[in-house]
Amino acid sequence: MATMHDEIDSWLAGDLHGELSNNERNALHAHLVDCGACRKTHQETKAMNKILEETFAQQKPDPAFEQRILAGFRNRVPQRRGLVKLLVDLMRLRATQITAVAAVLLGLVQVGRMITGEPATAPRERERYVGEQFAAQPSQFPASRAAQSGALAKSDEVAAGRPQDLALKEPPPPAPAQSKDQRQGSAELERTIVTGSNIPTAAEEAAQAPAQEPAPALANRKLIRNATVELEIVSFDNAVQKITAFANEEHGYVATTDSEKQANGKLRGEVVVKVLPENLDRFLQKIRNLGELKNQTLSTEDVTKAYFDTDARLKNAHVMEQRLIDMLKTKTGKVSDLLQVEKELGRVREEIEKMQGELKYWDSQVQFATVTMSLAEKDMEEPAAFLIRERAQLALYAPDVEKIYNEIKSLASPKVQITNAQLNRDYSGRVSAQVNMLIAPEESDAVIGRVKAFGRVENFQTQTQRTAQGGNPAAAGSENARTKRDKVELNIAISREEQEQAFQQTSLRIRTSSVDEKAKELRALAEKQGGRIRSSTFSRDPDGRAVANVSLRVPIKNYAALMQSLYSLGKVENVSVQRQDRTDAQIDEANAPADVSIQVYSQGNIVSPETGLLATLRRTLAQSAGAIMWSLRMIGVAIAFLAPWAIAIIGVIWIARRVIRAKR
Amino acid sequence: MDPSEREKYQAAIHGDREAFEMIIRTHSRTLFAISYGILQNREEAEDVVQDSLVKAWKTRWRVRDPEKFPAWLGTIARHKAHDVFRKRRTVPLSEQVTEPIEPEPANASGLDQKLHSALAALPELHRAALTLRYFEEMDYRTIENSLGLTNGALRGILGRALTSMRKQLRPALAEMD
C-alpha cells in the first residue's frame, strides 16, 4: 500500500472524478481508514475540488459559444462556390492526382528527349502517313473502278482462277488527265536489291515468283523491267553458250557480249540479254546456277502514264495535221498565210515523229526485259607470277679505306655490275666510301662472301621482297604462280676503323687527391695496354675541385688488364659497363674496340654555401609561402565548383519557404 | 474510436466542409478549455479557438491518421494559446498597467486570486488537463484523446496538478474549514 500512500493524490483525483473501479475504490477507502495523513489530504482535496468546480463553473462558455465560433469560422473561411469548388474537388480525387503526376512525368520525358535529340516524333509521322494513305485511297477508287473492270473484260491475258477482288485491290492505274507532279509520283521505281549475304534460296524465290509475275490488272500497264546480275563463273565461253541457250528457251536473244582478257589470263565480260518480261524471273533463276551469284538487282519502271499521255498527244497531233492539210487543200487566203500554215504543218509533223519514236522506244523496252550480266572468271585476282628481289646492305671497317674501295671495284664483271661508287673525304680528313652493285642471283652468295673478307663487317642486312605481277597483291597466297629471282642489290659502306662503334662502353669515376698527377699516370697505363686516348679535358673550380675527363679506346683483349691497373690510381666508383653483343659470326671479337671514359676528380671544399641559419630560414619561408599559395588556389577551385550548387540549393529552399508561407 | 467518428474525421481531412463544421460544434468547447487553461482569459481564449480552427482547416491535409485528428486540433490550440501568452508578456509595462490581466475584477475575492496564481504556476499541460476536467467534466479517456496523451498518463498528471494546487492553497483551505 506504500505506492498508494505515495501517489495518494492521483488516487484521490480518480476517486473524486469517478474514474476508479470498484476494487480500486474499496482499496482506497480501506487505506484512508488506516492512514491519518491521507485522510487529511482527502479532506483538503475534496474542498479544493469543490472550489475548482465552483470557480470553473463561472468561467464556462455561454450556450451560444459554438454558434459564435461557427459563424466566425464561416466568416473567415468563405465557402467556395461553382467552378472553383468543382476544381478543388477534382484535385482532391486520387485518380486526378495520379493523372497529373503521370502527365508531369510524360512532359519531363518529352523535354528530355528534346534535349537529347531523340526522334520522339517518329511514330506520329508514321501514323500520319497511314492516315494519308487512307484518305487518298477512296478518292481514287471510284474513278478508276470503271476503267479497271473494263480493262479486265477486254484483256485476253487474264489468268483464270485469279480472284477478282485481289485485282480490284491493286493500286488503280492513274487517270490520264492528272497534274504533272502526280505524274512523276506514279512513274515510281520499284526496286529490289539482293546482295551477297541475303540472297534468297531457290525455295524462297519460288514462293515469291507468283507475286512478281505481272497481275492481270497490270496487263495493259507499260512496265519496263530491268535486271543486273553479277556472277563469278569458271569459264567465260562456257557461260556465254549456256546463257544463249537459256535466252532461246525463254524466247529472248543475246543483245551484246563483250569480254576482256586480264594480265593473268582470266576473262571478264558483260552479256546483255533481252527476254519477254513474263519470262524474266524464270530466266534469272536459271542463270543463277551458272556460277556464284555476287549481286542481283531487279528494277521495274512504270511508264504507263507517260506512255498514254504521249499516245493521246499523238492522236491530237494527227488531228491537227489533218486540219492543216485541209487548209492547204482549200487554198484560200493570202500567200503569207499559206506559208504560215506550211510552217506549222512542218512543226506538227516533227512533233508527231518524235512522239512516235518515243512510243516505239517504250514499246521495245516494255516488250523485252533487259538483263545485264557481268561475268568474271574465278580467281580473277590471282597474280600471274612473283618476282623475288633481294637487297643486301653491309658496313665495312678497315684501316685503309681507299685500298678496300679499289679492291671491291675490281670485282666488276658482266654478272657483277657496279651501279654507283663514290669515295668521300671530308674537311677533317675522314675518308669513307660507298659502293652499290647489282649481282646476278647465282653469283650473289660468292661475291658477298668475298666482300665480307675485306675488313671488319658490321651491320649486315638482307631483305627479300616478293612482288606479285598482275592481279591483286593481296591474293598472293596462290601456289600455282611462277616465281622468278631478280638481281641482288648490294650496298656497301666502307669507313675507317675509328668511326666504328665501340663493342663495349665503360664509364667510371676515380676519386683521388691529386688529379693532375693521376691523369698523367692514366695516360701511361693506357699506352701500355695498346690503347689510344681519344679525348681528355681538365678543369678546376673555385672551391678547389679538380676534374679530368679522359676517354680512350683499347682492343677488347686488353680491356681486363687495363681495368685491373686502374685500381692502383685511387678509389674507383660508379663503374657502368654497356656491351653491345652482336650475333654476327663475322666479328673479330678480340680486336673489337672497347671504349673507356674515366673521370678523375678531387673533392675540394665539400661544404655547401647553401647552409647556415639564414639560408635555412629563407628556404623555409619560401616553401611555406608556396604552400599557402597552393592551398589558396585549391580553395578557389573548391569555391568555383561548389558555388553554383549552393546558389541553386539556396534558391530552391527560398522558393519552397515562400510557397509554404503563402499557404499559411 | 467509433467508425462513424473516424469517417467524419477522414471526410474533414479530405475537405468535407460539413464534416468539419460538425467537428467545430463538438470540439470547440474542448479547444476553449485548453486555451483558457493556458491564458486564463475568456476573450483571448475564444480568439485562439477561432484562429486554431481556421488554421486547422487550411492545413488539414497534414494529418495522416484520422484518429489523431482531435489531438492534432488540441495541439494547434495549445500552440496558438502559447503564442498569445508569450506576446502578452512582451507587451510594454505601461500597457499592462492600463489593461490589467485579471479579466474578472468583480469576482476578485482573496481565494479566487490565490486560485488563479496557483493555476498560473502549474505547467501548461497540467493546466489544460485541469480545465478540460472541470469545464467539460470530460471522462479521462476523452481528455487523453484531446491532449494526445497515452493511456493512463492523465491520472498521474491530474494527481500532480492537484498536489501542487493543494500545497499552494493550503492556508486558504485551512481558513475555509
3-state secondary structure string across A54-92: HHHHHHCCCCCHHHHHHHHHHHHCCCCCHHHHHHHHHHH
* Residues A517-544 pLDDT 10s: 888 888 888 888 878 787 888 888 777 7
Measured in whole angstroms, the distance separating CA A90 from the mean position of its chain's CA atoms is 53
Nearest to B50 among A9, A41, A69 (CB): A69
Asked if A298 and A213 count as a contact pair (C-beta separation under 8 A), the reply is: no
Residue where a domain stops, chosen among A551, A585, A601? A601
User: Which residue in chain A has the smallest CA separation from B14?
Assistant: A92
* Residues A248-278 pLDDT 10s: 888 888 888 888 887 777 788 889 988 888 8
A180 domain residue, yes or no: no
Best of A15, A52, A65 to mutate (most B CBs within 10 Å, chain B): A52
**Min CA distance, B3 vs chain A (Å)?**
22
What's the pLDDT at A509? 86
* Residues A291-311 pLDDT 10s: 888 888 888 888 888 888 999
Nearest to A73 among B24, B158, B160 (CB): B24
Q: Do B158 and A17 touch (CB under 8 A)?
A: yes
A85 at the B interface (CB within 8 A)?
Answer: no
**What residue type is A369 in one-letter code?**
A
Residue A455 sits in which domain range?
385-499
User: Which residue in chain A has the smallest CA separation from B140?
Assistant: A19
Give the C-alpha distances (Å, rounded to integers) separating A460 from A391, A423, A439, A441, A539: 11, 20, 16, 18, 42
Higher pLDDT, A171 or A303: A303
A261 domain residue, yes or no: no
Asked if this assembly's ipTM is beyond 0.90, the reply is: no
Residues of chain B contacting residue A76, judged by C-beta atoms under 8 Å apart: 50, 54
Does B46 have pLDDT greater than 80? yes
A456 domain residue, yes or no: yes
Q: Do A59 and B42 touch (CB under 8 A)?
A: yes
Contacts of A80 (CB under 8 A, 6+ apart): A88
CATH number, domain with residue A391: 3.30.70
* Residues A392-451 pLDDT 10s: 888 888 778 888 888 888 888 888 888 888 888 888 777 888 889 888 888 888 888 888
Residues of chain B contacting residue A43, judged by C-beta atoms under 8 Å apart: 177
Query: For residue B24, is it left (φ>0), alpha (ψ between -120 and 50) or beta?
Result: alpha
Q: Minimum mean pLDDT among A465-469, A592-596, B45-49, B62-66: which range?
A: A465-469
Tell me the angle at which helices A8-16 and A22-34 cross, rounded to the nearest 10 degrees: 130
> Domains in chain B: how many in total?
1
CB atoms within 10 A of CB A386: 19
Q: Do B24 and A69 touch (CB under 8 A)?
A: yes
Residue where a domain stops, chosen among A581, A601, A621? A601
A234 domain residue, yes or no: no
Residue where a domain stops, chosen among A568, A586, A601? A601
A30 domain residue, yes or no: yes
Nearest to B54 among A17, A59, A73 (CB): A73
**Min CA distance, B24 vs chain A (Å)?**
7
Q: Do A12 and B162 touch (CB under 8 A)?
A: yes
Q: Do B155 and A10 touch (CB under 8 A)?
A: yes
A145 domain residue, yes or no: no
**Min CA distance, A47 vs chain B (Å)?**
7
Residue B123 sits in which domain range?
3-176
CB atoms within 10 A of CB A315: 11
For residue A391, the number of C-alpha atoms closer than 13 Å in the C-beta half-sphere is 6
CA end-to-end span of chain B:
44
A302 domain residue, yes or no: no
Same domain (yes/no): A555, A589:
yes
Q: Do B133 and A17 touch (CB under 8 A)?
A: yes
Q: What nine digits make up the cell of A291?
A: 556460277
Q: Do B177 and A47 touch (CB under 8 A)?
A: yes
For residue A228, the number of C-alpha atoms closer than 13 Å in the C-beta half-sphere is 9
Q: How far apart are CA A523 and CA A536, in angstroms?
A: 10
Nearest to B28 among A65, A74, A89 (CB): A65
User: Which residue in chain B has the smallest CA separation from A89?
Assistant: B15
A543 domain residue, yes or no: yes
- pTM reported for the whole predicted model: 0.34
Measured in whole angstroms, the distance separating CA B101 from the mean position of its chain's CA atoms is 18
Confidence of residue A25 (pLDDT cuts 50, 70, 90): confident
Same domain (yes/no): A13, A104:
no
What's the pLDDT at A478? 55
Q: Do B159 and A17 touch (CB under 8 A)?
A: no
A109 at the B interface (CB within 8 A)?
Answer: no
Same domain (yes/no): A493, A517:
no
User: Which residue in chain A has the smallest CA separation from B43?
Assistant: A61
Residues of chain A contacting residue B14, judged by C-beta atoms under 8 Å apart: 92
Nearest to B15 among A9, A58, A92 (CB): A92
Contacts of A311 (CB under 8 A, 6+ apart): A359
Q: Give the largest CA-CA distance in chain B.
A: 56
> Domains in chain A: how many in total?
4
Same domain (yes/no): A448, A464:
yes
